[in-house]
Amino acid sequence: MEFRKNDCLSVVIEDMGNDGEGIGKVEGFTVFVKDGIVGDHLLIRLTKIKKNYAYARIEKVEIPSPFRVEPRCPIHRQCGGCQIQALDYAKQLKFKQNKVMNHLVRIGGFEQEKIEQCMESIIGMEEPYRYRNKAQYPVGMDKDGNIITGFYAGRTHVIIPVDDCMIGSEKNAEILNIIKNYMQVNRVSPYDELTHKGQVRHILIRVGQDTDEIMVSLVINGKALPKEEQLIQSLCTIKGMTSISISCNTEKTNVIMGKEIRLLWGSEYITDRIGMVIFRISPLSFFQVNSIQTEKLYGTALEYANLQGGETVWDLYCGIGTISLFLAQKAGKVYGVEIVPEAIRDARENAKLNHMENVTFFVGKAEEVLPEKYESEKIHADVIVVDPPRKGCDQACLDTILKMEPERVVYVSCDSSTLARDLKVLCESIYEIKKITAVDQFCHTTHCEVVVKLERR
């Protein structure tokens, strides 16, 4: 049968792809259905036809899957932030566990049986909502001239107005309302990407999960706002307000935050606690977005590092030193390496704040600092922990790890496909996978974190 765009067809969703899309077959022809849930009987409309497959959207759910649930967020289909909010949470966890497993088998080339033996149960959340400690809302204007805040519709820059995101803090809506009200009263305009005119671009809100301290930073196309005092006064009525700042971003760019931060009121940072460790978080710092799960993630990394007290540990891609300080509680000495100088400044502050003297941080690329130190000083490591960004570790970094031959490598990853690629390199040489745990840091999205323990053979 010939298929054409806009054809309306019936399909049963048999599987779900890595990006959370439903997969079904019509007369042997594969169709990827946005928002389809495994088990759904759907009426779909084809949106794009390729040679061997097609894309479609749901026209009508004829028989809902037993795994389909009512999403809490009314706009989850437009927003695109939570791709699988309509999938039952227990099933979401299975989906992520399988995704990690598939990557390790298909990309890493490991035996399925071996992976199954090493894989522990995925760590999910008891209450998988309201977990994000950070939100960045774009600011815009609707057709009637009202100021709106919300999220970009999937893969566009069209703002869908929403103040209360179900995976964010309950405090966000109140803060956004105060800012919108201030803007309306003082005729402060939202930024317009097309004309590069207007003032307020984004609003960054961070809330300390453990401390309830709040940070608000307004990203503006300029240096200052009118009547800043008024804005400060109204924001300060919110309990827990700790830091209010302006981030100047006058560039034509998709990057949200400007490099320059001007403090309007309060402290330059908020603090939060993960386990026993306290962290300082500035507007520009990288900090895991889900503090509750981060404690479990770092706890697992610490367990896998299996420290007895005297070890030398290298923590590559250390950010503000979060994992480094977690490890320093149990290690003899920890060295952290991170490319962003401001993050290392925070890392050093964090070490001081926690009275930890057994940590040293270096600014630079992991794939440059580690080989340089190894060649010039013949540094040694008992354990190496890596937590790279999505693109994974550089080959030079992996090569040096193999030369240094630490007893254990703990790999923390936010992308199981590059994890699988890198583990292949390490395990074709002298390492063996001992344990794997996925941690659901990003409930209702298709992403998760994975921790792997490798031991020297």
Site string for ligand SAH, 198-237 (x = CB under 6 A): ----------------------------------------
Specify the residue, 14 or 342, whose C-beta has the smaller distance to ligand SAH. 342
Using CA atoms of 376, 379, 385, 387 in order, give the dihedral in degrees to the nearest 10: -10
Amino acid (one-letter) located at 104: L
Specify the residue, 221 or 441, whose C-beta has the smaller distance to ligand SAH. 441
Nearest-approach distance from CB 319 to ligand SAH, in angstroms: 3
Which residues from 118-147 bind ligand SAH, rule CB under 6 A? Answer: none
Count of residues touching ligand SAH (by CB under 6 A): 18
Q: Does 21 bind ligand SAH (CB under 6 A)?
A: no
Which residues from 282-311 bind ligand SAH, rule CB under 6 A? Answer: 286, 288
- Paired tokens of 355: 């009275």
Radius of gyration from C-alpha coordinates of the chain: 24
Q: Which stretch binds ligand SAH (CB under 6 A): 6-14, 250-258, 325-333, 360-368?
A: 360-368
Q: Does 366 bind ligand SAH (CB under 6 A)?
A: yes
Q: What are the start-end ranges of the E strands in 52-106? A: 53-63
Q: Does 322 bind ligand SAH (CB under 6 A)?
A: yes
Asked if residues 59 and 45 have their Cβ atoms less than 8 Å apart, the reply is yes
Question: Between the CA of residue 250 and those of 196, 309, 329, what are the distances in Å?
Answer: 9, 49, 42
Q: Does 451 bind ligand SAH (CB under 6 A)?
A: no
Which residues from 330-349 bind ligand SAH, rule CB under 6 A? Answer: 337-340, 343
Which residues from 371-400 bind ligand SAH, rule CB under 6 A? Answer: 387-389
Specify the residue, 79 or 301, whose C-beta has the smaller distance to ligand SAH. 301
Letter string b/e over residues 218-248, b meaning 16 or more CB atoms within 10 A of that residue's CB:
bbbbeeebeebeebbebbeeeeebbbbbbbb
Q: Does 363 bind ligand SAH (CB under 6 A)?
A: no
Specify the residue, 82 or 289, whose C-beta has the smaller distance to ligand SAH. 289
Asked if residues 11 and 24 have their Cβ atoms less than 8 Å apart, the reply is yes
Distance, CA of 188 to CA of 425 (rounded, Å): 54
Q: Does 426 bind ligand SAH (CB under 6 A)?
A: no
Q: Which residue is nearest to ligand SAH (CB)?
A: 319
Nearest-approach distance from CB 335 to ligand SAH, in angstroms: 12
Q: Does 277 bind ligand SAH (CB under 6 A)?
A: no
Question: Between the CA of residue 391 and those of 387, 416, 421, 424, what are the distances in Å?
Answer: 11, 10, 10, 15
Nearest-approach distance from CB 295 to ligand SAH, in angstroms: 12
Distance, CA of 142 to CA of 158 (rounded, Å): 10
Specify the residue, 101 or 301, whose C-beta has the smaller distance to ligand SAH. 301
Mapped onto helix, strand or coil, the DSSP state of residue 385 is: strand
> How does DSSP classify residue 21?
-
C-alpha count within 13 angstroms, C-beta hemisphere, residue 74 = 6
Q: What are the start-end ranges of the E strands in 240-358? A: 241-248, 260-266, 270-274, 277-281, 312-316, 333-338
Give the residue, chosen from 89, 151, 304, 317, that forms a contact with ligand SAH under the rule CB under 6 A.
317
Please confirm, yes or no, whether 414 is among the known catalytic residues.
yes
Specify the residue, 65 or 291, whose C-beta has the smaller distance to ligand SAH. 291
Which residues from 145-164 bind ligand SAH, rule CB under 6 A? Answer: none
Q: Does 439 bind ligand SAH (CB under 6 A)?
A: no
Give the residue, chosen from 204, 248, 318, 384, that forms a contact with ligand SAH under the rule CB under 6 A.
318
Q: Which position among 73, 165, 414, 448 bears the catalytic label?
A: 414
422: Cβ contacts below 8 Å, ≥ 6 apart? 392, 393, 398, 411
The residues carrying an active-site annotation are 414
* List of residues contacting ligand SAH (CB under 6 A): 286, 288, 317-319, 322-323, 337-340, 343, 365-367, 387-389
